Amino acid sequence: MVTLKSASRSRSARVVALALAAGLGGCQAIGLGGGGGDDYVERPVGELYNEAADSLSARNYTTAAAQFEEVERQHPYSQWAQRAVLMSAFAYYSKADYESAIAAAERYLALHPGSQSAPYAQYLVAASYYEQIASVERDQEITQRALSELSDLVQRYPDTDYARDARLKIDLTRDHLAGKEMSVGRYYLDQKAFVAAINRFKVVVTDYQTTTHVEEALARLAEAYMALGVSNEAQTAAAILGHNYPGGRWYEDTYVLLQSGGLAPREDTSSWISRAWRGISPI
């Protein structure tokens, strides 16, 4: 989906900005100015941290990440070392080095699982996977991982700003996964591999019922079942489609298709489609 990332990028930026502001605010409390010098010479923690913050503000993300890591290396037991790990993760995220961002954020969570910034660290992990989601034509392993991390964030920290942003991303991610199933299902339908196509559209109806793809999935199920001569399933798919999307193009086309075979939409309550639509798992 072309708009998957762009639809929530501005919201993500606002969430990230809140955490960044908190990090820089704590830095300013030290009251030390940034300075130059050899990175391998031991220097005051405030000087190192403020220098890294300056690089981050200037969008020199590679430099900032290295400088934040230097804070931890030189002063591993200071309160700023803890924050520096998280800020290095943000710097990596900002330069789209998502693997490094995930590694740094997960390291932070391993070292400080109960800290106040743990929700933000989890958010960085989830957002880093989310930003790597590929088009529906490609493998969706990253998309599944993004969904898992986003769901974990909502479950662990439900009342945070990060969870609110994650819920939007979850909806978009689920829609993307449904789009993948539809893409494969359409391919099988074009190849007249009707059973394989049905299996893909079935996933959309059972697992992604609230996505934007379910309307087409019901229509495609009716089409595939008509091709196989399984009239009761075709009629059920059409009936549910007509009940929920009565004025849509997909229902109009499906109604014409059924009429061409002398059929009309009629729900069979014993059909897996009917039971799935009512929240009952099909056999």
The pTM (predicted TM-score) of the whole model is 0.77
pLDDT at 31: 33
Same domain, 244 and 152: no
CATH of the domain at 53: 1.25.40.10
pLDDT at 40: 53
Same domain, 108 and 51: yes
pLDDT at 90: 96
pLDDT at 8: 47
Contacts of 187 (CB under 8 A, 6+ apart): none
Q: Tens-digit pLDDT profile for the chain (283 aa)?
A: 334 454 444 455 444 544 544 444 444 333 333 444 454 567 777 788 889 899 999 999 999 999 999 888 888 888 888 899 999 999 999 999 999 999 999 999 999 999 999 999 999 999 999 999 987 777 889 999 999 999 999 999 999 999 999 999 999 999 999 999 999 999 999 999 999 999 999 999 999 999 999 999 999 999 999 999 999 999 999 999 999 999 899 999 999 999 999 999 999 999 999 999 987 544 4
Q: What is the dihedral of CA 88, 167, 10, 5, to 10 degrees?
A: 90
Residue 146 placed within a domain: yes
Residue 109 placed within a domain: yes
Q: Which of 176, 210, 245 is the last residue of a domain?
A: 176
Same domain, 43 and 131: yes
pLDDT at 22: 45
Contacts of 114 (CB under 8 A, 6+ apart): none
Q: What is the dihedral of CA 77, 79, 81, 82, to 10 degrees?
A: 110
Residue type at 198 in one-letter notation: I
Same domain, 11 and 48: yes
Same domain, 49 and 132: yes
Residue 71 placed within a domain: yes
CA angle 136–89–72, rounded 5-degree value: 160
Residue type at 114 in one-letter notation: G
The radius of gyration computed from the CA coordinates of the chain, to the nearest angstrom, equals 25
Upper half-sphere CA count for residue 7 (Cβ side, 13 Å): 15
Structural domain that includes position 143:
6-176
